[in-house]
Chains A and B, each alone.
Chain A
Amino acid sequence: MALAPALVLLPLGMVLLRDLHGGGAEQIGRFWLAALQPSLDPSLLKHQLMGLQITALTALLAWSLSSLVGLVLGLICSTTIWSTLMGRRWPALVVRRGLAPLRSIHELIWGLLLLQLFGLNGWVAVLAIVLPYSALLARVLADQLDRHEPPALVALQCAGVPAVINLCTSLMPPVATALRDHIGHRLDCALRSALLLGIFGLGGLGTELMLSLQSLRFRELWSGLWLMALLLVAVNLMIRRLSARHGLLLLALMLPLVTPLWSSGLNHDLSPPSWVEGTPWPSPALWSEGLSQAWMETPWLELIGGTLLITLLASGVAIGLPPLLRLIAPGPVAGWVLKAGWTLMRLLPPPLTALLLMLASKPTLAVAALALGLHHSGVMGLVLEDGLERVDVRDQQAMVALGAPPRSAWLFGVLSPASQRYLAYAAYRSDVILRDTAVVGLVGGAGLGWQLMEALSSFYWPLVAWLVMVYAALTLLGELVCERLQEAA
């Protein structure tokens, strides 16, 4: 089952070969060679380090605010807490569904929307990450609190323990570890999101990387990417150290106090944002007219179909490619090499990958899907490697001893046991991929994302409103499907 999604590589490969023009093949080769020869120009590095600091500052501030807000919202979204305290569950469900639009809209879309409203201000990128991340964390926390009712909850209730302290004692310890892991993971995601927002003009290292790419200065581009890689490694090490004994929570509480000083040192504007004057808003009468017109003239089926197709293809690549490569090369050395490869794939933001692919192929839906799929294959590849390491190899050894070919023994004795956890994560990852189609759509000219970019650029607010709502609805639908799949599993 884990290998089946790799079938999408066949049609994708055929389309890419058909659209291959080879004009930029040399550039792609130069790009990869430049990875080994990043530029060490001092003035460039100085600029990039400034940009890196702005990216880090944005990510850390956004992460800390979204963690704190998300924790509070997560408690409010928990049916277990509501039913224990108030004897009813429905308020939690109302809040949870109410937060769904926040988390369903990609931070890039939030960034572009807020940019139109507030202009270039450091808080735009921060808020663009805080809005969806806090809603995502709220959902994760509420799911953890509600999924497994701890047996101690009823026991303490019967022992006359007041509801609030009962909830704290019986619910918090079981979810604390999973929550801590998720919050730590969110910091890594926040850094990548801040980089991505910079690529689309919201400041930081991403802006520098985009300028380097557009002028085909790949050595400079790789200098920035390696700096980002070092930052990610440092942050992940920090997360591991702080994960013990409430370190992450303390960091989240302290950061909003520390970051203003840091930003003033960087001359990065973190003053309170204000509305951009002169933004052309339609009058109320024009709004209703504009909404119906925008709805009628937009080819929704084509756009939604394009977005869903990108999601399907990208998910196929992301989920099927890692086990396929492992089947081809199942040994431990191949595992190490692939791990390095997956880490590199994660490092390259999807728009960069899409732009690189467009150097050699026409901008199509296939390019967008492949770029997104390759980026997410980095995540799935690492998840797969982690799962394979935990498998007991005695089954495989027994099969080999009985005469099974090594590859078959690996398939049935190692990949098969690891598949369940891998595919469970894959369902969640497909949900994320659907959100991320906004990112490559903007670059690849396909799906809802492309249309949204056009509407934002021309201040066509009624269409922007529809597109955001449709995106939110699609993402919610994806979430519901994932939930049902996970329940069925």
Chain B
Amino acid sequence: MAVLELRRAGLTGRLQPLDLTIDHGERTVLLGRSGAGKSSLIGLCNGSLSPDQGRVLWRGHDLQRCRPAQRRQIGTLWQDLRLVEELTVLQNINTGALGRHSLLWGLRNLLQPLEPELGDAILRQVGLSTVLRNQRVAGLSGGERQRVALARLLRQQPTLVLADEPLSALDPRLSNDVLNLLLKQSSCMVSLHRPDLMQRFQRVLGLRQGELVLDAPPSAITEATLAWLYSED
């Protein structure tokens, strides 16, 4: 069943109009050189970017017109993380759940972090020490901040996970753990600079100079295809 559809959706100067359907339960990897349009495609899929042409549909509804309850089903792990630097680790994790709680709950979270036990469990899932729970995010290392962003995503419990280069600040062991967590989600689309990891996905999308040039299972992708995808010409 299709959860997300792009119908001739494009962004002038960044992404040529494309058709794309993401089904429930599908695990997709997005490959391409820097500047190929991977972040723009993720931006179209999570609604942060509005298409200049075509439409993006979430379960048949125009994504730009979806209510917050519908948008809550799409979770994004941003390349620049987009945490609230002045809040603590636990408060940031809880922002993932703001869509499911009342305004009062959200305001209380600003004054003091709520549901610490749940937060601790998620921290352990992402490999962070619970000692960091009350530390301000601004004081963490790049790898720690990336895992806090992942923890926020897990707290949101989305149906579709979009991840924009989630492994960039992580060592190989942590990269493996994070990827395992992402792949456990219902459906995911992950942009990576690691073609060697594509075997862990069911579908490979390749972008080149803003154009979707590849859409195939990993078994159909050859070294020559990858070399062409990442070439300058």
Q: How far is the CA of A164 from the CA of B107 in the complex (A)?
A: 10
- A1 contacts partner chain B, Cβ-Cβ < 8 Å: no
**What distance in Å separates the Cβ of A162 from its nearest Cβ neighbour in chain B?**
5
Question: In the complex the two chains form, is B99's CB within 8 Å of A161's CB?
Answer: yes
Chain B residues with Cβ below 8 Å from A164 are 103
- B47 contacts partner chain A, Cβ-Cβ < 8 Å: yes
Q: Which residue of A lies closest to B68 (CB)?
A: A160
Interface residues of B in 30-63 (CB under 8 A from A): 46-48
User: Which of B75-83, B174-182, B208-216, B225-233 contacts its partner?
Assistant: B75-83
* CB-based closest 4 A-B pairs: A160-B72, A173-B86, A160-B71, A165-B106
List 14 extra interface pairs beyond A154-B48, A160-B67, CB under 8 A: A151-B81, A151-B82, A156-B95, A156-B98, A159-B71, A159-B158, A160-B72, A161-B95, A161-B98, A165-B107, A168-B106, A169-B95, A174-B84, A174-B85
Question: In the complex the two chains form, is B71's CB within 8 Å of A174's CB?
Answer: no
- A451 contacts partner chain B, Cβ-Cβ < 8 Å: no
**What distance in Å separates the Cβ of B167 from its nearest Cβ neighbour in chain A?**
19
Chain B residues with Cβ below 8 Å from A156 are 95, 98
- B113 contacts partner chain A, Cβ-Cβ < 8 Å: no
Q: A165-B98, A165-B103, A174-B86 are in contact. Are A160 and B110 (CB under 8 A)?
A: no
**What distance in Å separates the Cβ of A332 from its nearest Cβ neighbour in chain B?**
32
Q: A165-B103, A169-B110 are in contact. Are A158 and B76 (CB under 8 A)?
A: yes
Question: In the complex the two chains form, is B84's CB within 8 Å of A173's CB?
Answer: yes
Question: In the complex the two chains form, is A162's CB within 8 Å of B68's CB?
Answer: yes
- A85 contacts partner chain B, Cβ-Cβ < 8 Å: no
- A4 contacts partner chain B, Cβ-Cβ < 8 Å: no
Q: Taking each of A154, A160, A177, which has the highest tally of chain B beta carbons within 10 Å of its own beta carbon?
A: A160
- A104 contacts partner chain B, Cβ-Cβ < 8 Å: no
Q: Taking each of B76, B82, B106, which has the highest tally of chain A beta carbons within 10 Å of its own beta carbon?
A: B82
Q: How far is the CA of A155 from the CA of B67 in the complex (A)?
A: 15
**CB-defined A-B contacts under 8 Å, sample of 13:** A151-B80, A155-B78, A157-B48, A158-B48, A160-B74, A161-B72, A161-B95, A161-B106, A165-B98, A166-B98, A168-B107, A169-B95, A174-B85
- A150 contacts partner chain B, Cβ-Cβ < 8 Å: yes
Q: How far is the CA of A394 from the CA of B198 in the complex (A)?
A: 50
Interface residues of chain B, those whose CB is within 8 Å of chain A, are: 46-48, 67-76, 78, 80-87, 95-96, 98-99, 103, 106-107, 109-110, 156, 158
Q: Which residue of B lies closest to A169 (CB)?
A: B95
Question: In the complex the two chains form, is A176's CB within 8 Å of B76's CB?
Answer: no
- A211 contacts partner chain B, Cβ-Cβ < 8 Å: no
Chain B residues with Cβ below 8 Å from A155 are 48, 76, 78, 82
Q: Which residue of A lies closest to B102 (CB)?
A: A165
Q: Which residue of A lies closest to B86 (CB)?
A: A173
Chain A residues with Cβ below 8 Å from B98 are 156, 159, 161-162, 165-166, 169
Main DSSP-derived SS at the A contact region = helix
**What distance in Å separates the Cβ of A292 from its nearest Cβ neighbour in chain B?**
53
Chain B residues with Cβ below 8 Å from A158 are 46-48, 71, 74, 76
Interface residues of chain A, those whose CB is within 8 Å of chain B, are: 150-152, 154-162, 164-166, 168-170, 172-174, 176-177
Chain A residues with Cβ below 8 Å from B106 are 161, 165, 168-169
Q: A168-B110, A170-B84 are in contact. Are A162 and B76 (CB under 8 A)?
A: no
Chain B residues with Cβ below 8 Å from A162 are 68, 98-99, 103
Q: A160-B70, A160-B73 are in contact. Are A169 and B84 (CB under 8 A)?
A: yes
Q: A165-B103, A168-B106 are in contact. Are A159 and B84 (CB under 8 A)?
A: no
Chain B residues with Cβ below 8 Å from A151 are 78, 80-82
Chain A residues with Cβ below 8 Å from B76 are 155, 158-159
Q: How far is the CA of A157 from the CA of B68 in the complex (A)?
A: 8
Question: In the complex the two chains form, is A160's CB within 8 Å of B99's CB?
Answer: yes
**What distance in Å separates the Cβ of B92 from its nearest Cβ neighbour in chain A?**
9
Q: How far is the CA of A7 from the CA of B143 in the complex (A)?
A: 53
Q: How far is the CA of A170 from the CA of B85 in the complex (A)?
A: 9
Q: Which residue of B lies closest to A154 (CB)?
A: B48
**What distance in Å separates the Cβ of A35 from its nearest Cβ neighbour in chain B?**
44
Q: How far is the CA of A152 from the CA of B96 in the complex (A)?
A: 11
Chain B residues with Cβ below 8 Å from A168 are 106-107, 110
Q: How far is the CA of A172 from the CA of B110 in the complex (A)?
A: 9
**What distance in Å separates the Cβ of B82 from its nearest Cβ neighbour in chain A?**
4
Question: In the complex the two chains form, is B75's CB within 8 Å of A159's CB?
Answer: yes
Q: Which residue of B lies closest to A153 (CB)?
A: B82
Q: How far is the CA of A155 from the CA of B162 in the complex (A)?
A: 12
Q: How far is the CA of A172 from the CA of B84 in the complex (A)?
A: 10
Q: Which residue of A lies closest to B96 (CB)?
A: A159
Chain A residues with Cβ below 8 Å from B103 are 162, 164-165
Q: Which residue of B lies closest to A245 (CB)?
A: B111
Q: How far is the CA of A350 from the CA of B73 in the complex (A)?
A: 61
Q: How far is the CA of A156 from the CA of B101 in the complex (A)?
A: 14
Q: How far is the CA of A162 from the CA of B106 in the complex (A)?
A: 10
**What distance in Å separates the Cβ of B131 from its nearest Cβ neighbour in chain A?**
22
Question: In the complex the two chains form, is B110's CB within 8 Å of A173's CB?
Answer: yes
Q: Which residue of B lies closest to A177 (CB)?
A: B86
**What distance in Å separates the Cβ of B51 from its nearest Cβ neighbour in chain A?**
15
Chain A residues with Cβ below 8 Å from B71 are 157-160
**What distance in Å separates the Cβ of B183 from its nearest Cβ neighbour in chain A?**
20
Chain A residues with Cβ below 8 Å from B46 are 158
Q: Which residue of A lies closest to B77 (CB)?
A: A155
Q: Which residue of B lies closest to A151 (CB)?
A: B82
Q: How far is the CA of A152 from the CA of B86 in the complex (A)?
A: 11
Chain B residues with Cβ below 8 Å from A166 are 98
Chain B residues with Cβ below 8 Å from A157 are 48, 71
Q: How far is the CA of A299 from the CA of B138 in the complex (A)?
A: 57
Q: A156-B98, A168-B107, A173-B110 are in contact. Are A161 and B84 (CB under 8 A)?
A: no
Q: How far is the CA of A154 from the CA of B68 in the complex (A)?
A: 13
Q: How far is the CA of A173 from the CA of B113 in the complex (A)?
A: 14
